[in-house]
Amino acid sequence: MQNTAIETCGLTRRFGAQLAVDDVNLLVPEAGVYGFLGPNGAGKTTTIRMLLGLIRPDAGEVRLFDSPLAANRQALMRRVGALVEMPSLYPHLTGRENLEVTRRLLGAPRELIDRALDIVQLTGDAHRRVREYSLGMRQRLGLALALLNKPALLILDEPTNGLDPAGIHEMRDLIRRLPVEFGITVFLSSHLLSEVEQIASHIGIIHQGRLLFQGTLADLQAERHEHLTIGVTQSDQAARCLTAAGWTVERREDGLLTVTAATREAAAQINSLLVGQRLEVFHIALEQASLEDIFLTLTNGKNVASLTKRKAA
């Protein structure tokens, strides 16, 4: 069985009457990228703060590398790097000088500065003052700060927020390299499935404090069930006709009908049925729900029971 970098059991946190994190059980395997997804306010940052020991859970336990965080926080944090929200940088200092300040606080060897700069590809700009850096360069420098202690686990909270497309591309490529080239486990929070699905091997989806899905990207892709979309001029009559024939039909906002069917034979049968009823069919297509559709279905609270919680492999 694969070793885990993060494991939580019943993790719960309240702020007054608000239940911010509700009985969350994470299982994050080592040496991969785990995408922690959810809308803004879903409980992602609160969960991350508990993983880092910055706030205590009201119930439940956090284990890092199979060791309880509550009893071993100081030792475990030496193996963890984190970038939560915007990095705290000294704009009047150079990139290298910013790293030197943190290196002294950590008591880390001086050569780790060059290693961190090389990983985030800032070696050529290390002599420039941070006030001259673009937002993407500042974010990469913040990542270099998190990598100074050669962490085995890197926790990132919305690392692409505010970046332009070029900055997002640079950050995405960098995150993708970390497990492959350096064996670092990356735990990455985001509200954008389209970003995370390009780099994550495992995904957890949280909404209103509850973990709705957890598994590999392949597990989530397996939920992309095919269906037929049908355009017909008399949609109400067509829906009644198809329902009477035993098909499951839903009406879409754009006027099309969605029918639970996944074969060409079914499409032909439905078309013949509608035409036989003198209904005018102007569109029929076999479609597959996108991952974005699944994510929105989950976080809109529709058909949540259709996706079972899965433990990461």
Distance, in Å, from the CA atom of 196 to the CA atom of 68, rounded to the nearest integer, reads 28
Distance, in Å, from the CA atom of 295 to the CA atom of 297, rounded to the nearest integer, reads 5
Residue 260 has pLDDT above 70, yes or no: yes
Distance, in Å, from the CA atom of 81 to the CA atom of 83, rounded to the nearest integer, reads 7
Q: What is the pLDDT of residues 49-60, one digit of tens each?
A: 999 999 999 999
Contact 289, 225 (CB under 8 A): yes
In 3D space, the residue among 280, 166, 294 whose CA is nearest the CA of residue 220 turns out to be 294
Residue 293 has pLDDT above 80, yes or no: no
Distance, in Å, from the CA atom of 204 to the CA atom of 91, rounded to the nearest integer, reads 36
pTM (global) more than 0.95? no
pLDDT band at 310 (very low <50, low <70, confident <90, very high): very low
Regarding predicted confidence, which is higher, 142 or 286? 142
Residue 275 has pLDDT above 80, yes or no: yes
Question: What per-residue confidence (pLDDT) applies to 175?
Answer: 95
Question: What per-residue confidence (pLDDT) applies to 289?
Answer: 67
Regarding predicted confidence, which is higher, 192 or 153? 153
Question: What per-residue confidence (pLDDT) applies to 225?
Answer: 72
Question: What per-residue confidence (pLDDT) applies to 305?
Answer: 37
Please name the amino acid found at residue 106. Answer: L
Q: What is the pLDDT of residues 22-32, one digit of tens each?
A: 999 999 999 99
Long-range contacts of 61-66 (CB under 8 A, 24+ apart): 61/8, 61/9, 61/10, 61/11, 62/6, 62/7, 62/8, 62/11, 63/4, 63/6, 63/7, 63/8, 63/9, 64/5, 64/6, 64/153, 65/3, 65/4, 65/5, 65/152, 65/153, 66/3, 66/4, 66/7
Least confident of 23-37, 92-106, 243-257: 243-257
Question: What per-residue confidence (pLDDT) applies to 309?
Answer: 36
Question: What per-residue confidence (pLDDT) applies to 306?
Answer: 38
Distance, in Å, from the CA atom of 81 to the CA atom of 79, rounded to the nearest integer, reads 7
Distance, in Å, from the CA atom of 206 to the CA atom of 21, rounded to the nearest integer, reads 9
In 3D space, the residue among 28, 10, 27 whose CA is nearest the CA of residue 19 turns out to be 10
**Secondary structure class of 296 (helix, strand, coil):** helix
Regarding predicted confidence, which is higher, 39 or 59? 59
Please name the amino acid found at residue 292. Answer: E
Residues in contact with 144: Cβ distance below 8 Å, sequence separation at least 6, in sequence order: 95, 99, 116, 117, 119, 120, 122
Torsion sign, CA atoms 275, 280, 286, 291: negative
Q: What is the mean pLDDT of residues 246-252?
A: 91
Q: What is the mean pLDDT of residues 222-228?
A: 77
pLDDT band at 62 (very low <50, low <70, confident <90, very high): very high
Residue 304 has pLDDT above 50, yes or no: no
